[in-house]
Amino acid sequence: MTQAFAGTPGVDVLVPVVLTAPALLIGLTAPFAGVVVDRIDRKRLLLVAMLAYAVFGTAPLYLDSLGAIVASRVLVGLCEGAIMTCCTTLIGDYWSGARRARYLGLQTLVATLSATVFLALGGVLGAAGWRTPFWLYAVAALLAVPMALAIWQPARPAVASGTRAPLPWRQLLVPCVVTLFGGIVFYALIVELSFVLAGVGITATGTIGAISAVMSLATAAGAVVFGRLSGRTPRALLPVEFGLSAAGLLLVFATTSPVVITVGAVLTGLGTGMLLPTLLTWAVNRLTFDQRGRGTGLWTGALFLGEFLCPLILAAVGAGAGGLQAALAVLGIASGVVGVLAALLLRRHDQPLDLTRD
């Protein structure tokens, strides 16, 4: 893409924005999608967002202006924020208790595996030209058909006309702040592992892709483990999850061995695979029906804002700490500190994750 738009002013800035804009837009707009979800309808917004996602996602196939492509990616992020908020809210609507927690873990599992598959397909399609991978967004339009048939809009509980329960901000504040940091930890090796491997002499794309795939499988395994531990409290789970992530990041920092770096990536993936459903369930599990969309939107916004900030923060820390691996070490230490604080300070939130208040 950089080569195709070499004559465009600011191409070196705009092309990376094509990749990062959706994450930023999800972070900024998911809370507003949550308001729409609670006010109007989960299913209707989801189907509209899926079709719009397919349209805007495939737009780079025919757009000839890099500025227009960046604009289309902004709209993709808007649609993604609505889709993720609707899907997670519906999981909360359809199930409760331990079953809800298992489905939230399954959501992380499916997202991780599908991301691995679609990234691999994108790489294969990319051999035919930089535009070709954008055809993958058309899958959203195909999925909208079975979704329209299989998904149902939950019945809204009877409430006084025009009233909605206010959000419990104090209940949501701590989980969302921890999620903001968790998004940084989750995204760190996803975006930086290839650069770490290149820095220690691994330049073969096949090897880098294989190690990244192993980390993705570890993240999926972490989601499976969460499903078996969903009755534990955040105070019990978060120290383990942040501790695994910290150990993995510190291993990546401490070595130039590709094997040890892979072990560190696996530990981090396992920790973050458990971490995301823990944070999500902790944030939204005790929300009522007419609070759930807004609460889910806030959590989704916090996660993706953390993901967007991740490479910026690592670059800034690396500039002062002596490079990328040193920045990952700082993040690893911070992750360990957050894990310890979770064990010490979350007594008020020390309730099993499979409790519900519907």
**pLDDT tens, residue by residue, 265-301:** 999 999 999 999 999 999 988 899 989 999 999 999 9
On the CB side of 31, CA atoms within 13 Å amount to 13
What was the pLDDT predicted at 355? Answer: 43
The CA-atom distances, in angstroms, between 127 and each of 116, 122, 130, 347 are 18, 9, 8, 53
Instruction: Copy the structure tokens of residue 140.
Output: 């959203």
Q: Which of 52, 61, 49 is nearest to 135 (CA)?
A: 61
Q: Which of 293, 32, 299, 291 is nearest to 163 (CA)?
A: 291
Q: Which of 319, 338, 42 is nearest to 183 (CA)?
A: 338
Express as a percent the part of the chain with pLDDT over 90: 63
The SS3 call for residue 22 is helix
Q: Which of 126, 130, 15 is nearest to 69 (CA)?
A: 15
CA angle 331, 335, 337 (to 5 degrees): 115
**Mutual angle of helices 205-229 and 234-254, in 10-degree steps:** 160
What was the pLDDT predicted at 157? Answer: 74
Q: Which of 185, 193, 310, 333 is nearest to 261 (CA)?
A: 193
What was the pLDDT predicted at 68? Answer: 95
Distance, CA of 201 to CA of 183 (rounded, Å):
28
Express as a percent the part of the chain with pLDDT over 70: 95
Q: Would you kindly state where each structural domain of the chain is located, as residue ranges?
A: 11-153+167-349
* Mean pLDDT, all residues of the chain: 90
**Cβ neighbours of 275 (radius 10 Å):** 30
The pTM of the whole model exceeds 0.85? yes
**pLDDT tens, residue by residue, 141-196:** 999 999 999 999 988 776 545 567 888 998 899 999 999 999 999 999 988 998 89
What was the pLDDT predicted at 345? Answer: 83
What was the pLDDT predicted at 34? Answer: 94
pLDDT of 353 strictly over 70: no
Between 56 and 171, residue with greater pLDDT: 56
With the CA atoms of 61, 64, 68 and 72 taken in that order, what torsion angle do they form, in degrees rounded to the nearest 10? Answer: 0
Q: Which of 208, 176, 174, 186 is nearest to 331 (CA)?
A: 186
**pLDDT tens, residue by residue, 195-254:** 899 899 998 877 888 898 899 999 999 999 998 887 788 889 999 999 999 999 999 999
What was the pLDDT predicted at 170? Answer: 86
Which CATH number describes the domain made up of 11-153+167-349? 1.20.1250.20
What was the pLDDT predicted at 88? Answer: 95
What was the pLDDT predicted at 178? Answer: 96
**pLDDT tens, residue by residue, 109-130:** 999 889 888 878 887 888 888 9
What was the pLDDT predicted at 349? Answer: 52
Distance, CA of 311 to CA of 190 (rounded, Å):
10
- State the burial class of residue 114 (Cβ atoms within 10 Å of its Cβ: 0-12, 13-18, 19+): exposed
Sequence-distant (≥ 6) Cβ neighbours of residue 116 within 8 angstroms: 213, 216, 217
What was the pLDDT predicted at 263? Answer: 97
The SS3 call for residue 224 is helix
Q: Where are the alpha helices (DSSP H) in 322-350?
A: 324-345
pLDDT level of residue 350 (50, 70, 90 thresholds): low
* Least confidently predicted of 70-79, 118-127, 129-138: 118-127
